[in-house]
A and B are shown apart, each in its own frame.
Chain A
């Protein structure tokens, strides 16, 4: 079974600075997707960024980018120019790819609580 590990329960960053959240995963599959979701105090789960395992290029979305290291099974999230609104729980998630078959569920890590200090 696939597992996702987020080793940092909590992180903090100063406003306008850069922070990196870590995620590692364990799988024997070659085709899969990885996601970062944000959960602010409102509890809403919001997609931040998505990476297809077959793509070598790291995904970016404005101030958010990932460092995807397939061989190391590592998928970190970098937030640049941190803003107060970035404060939230961040969850790393894994999904089996379309050519792999099997369940399409998301497997989540335990989350990292990010605090942004003014």
Chain B
């Protein structure tokens, strides 16, 4: 079975540009999580969905960040406009049941110049 798929794996962009990160969860999983990893703050949750509905978006830093899950097999995290402080590794994870183990994708390394 394919694991969680994320694209792109690497993204370099200039400040002010729009960035879209994509995630395909494991088939059959109904929970999807977006995490961000930085040296300063470590790993922290941005938002998560259950059955395509956002449940907890308390970690979304500001209005520049938005996330959608239009169907069970696809989610996007968008940053508009991007800023250098958004540079981080962004992980998507999915889980097949409530409080279940979360399986992580390979991450997207974002660098905003």
In the complex, the chain B residue whose C-beta lies closest to that of A103 is B56
B98's contact among A50, A98, A106, by CB below 8 Å, is which? Answer: A98
**A106-B102 CB under 8 A given contacts A43-B89, A91-B43:** yes
Of A44, A46, A50, A109, most buried by chain B (CB within 10 Å of CB) is: A44
Q: Which of A50-83 contact B (CB under 8 A)?
A: 50
Do A108 and B104 have beta carbons less than 8 Å apart? Answer: no
Q: Is A16's CB within 8 Å of the partner chain B?
A: no
Q: Which of B36-79 contact A (CB under 8 A)?
A: 42-45, 48, 50, 55-56, 58-59
Do A111 and B99 have beta carbons less than 8 Å apart? Answer: no
B99's contact among A42, A91, A104, A108, by CB below 8 Å, is which? Answer: A104
* Residues of the A chain whose Cβ atoms lie less than 8 Å from the Cβ of B103: 47
Do B106 and A42 have beta carbons less than 8 Å apart? Answer: yes
Q: Is A110's CB within 8 Å of the partner chain B?
A: yes
Do B104 and A105 have beta carbons less than 8 Å apart? Answer: no
**Minimum C-beta distance from A101 to chain B (A):** 10
Chain A to chain B contacts (Cβ below 8 Å), 14 pairs: A35-B101, A45-B104, A45-B107, A97-B99, A98-B98, A103-B48, A103-B56, A104-B31, A104-B55, A104-B99, A105-B48, A106-B33, A106-B35, A108-B44
Interface residues, chain B, with chain A CB atoms under 8 Å away: 31, 33, 35, 42-45, 48, 50, 55-56, 58-59, 89, 91, 93, 95, 98-99, 101-104, 106-107, 109
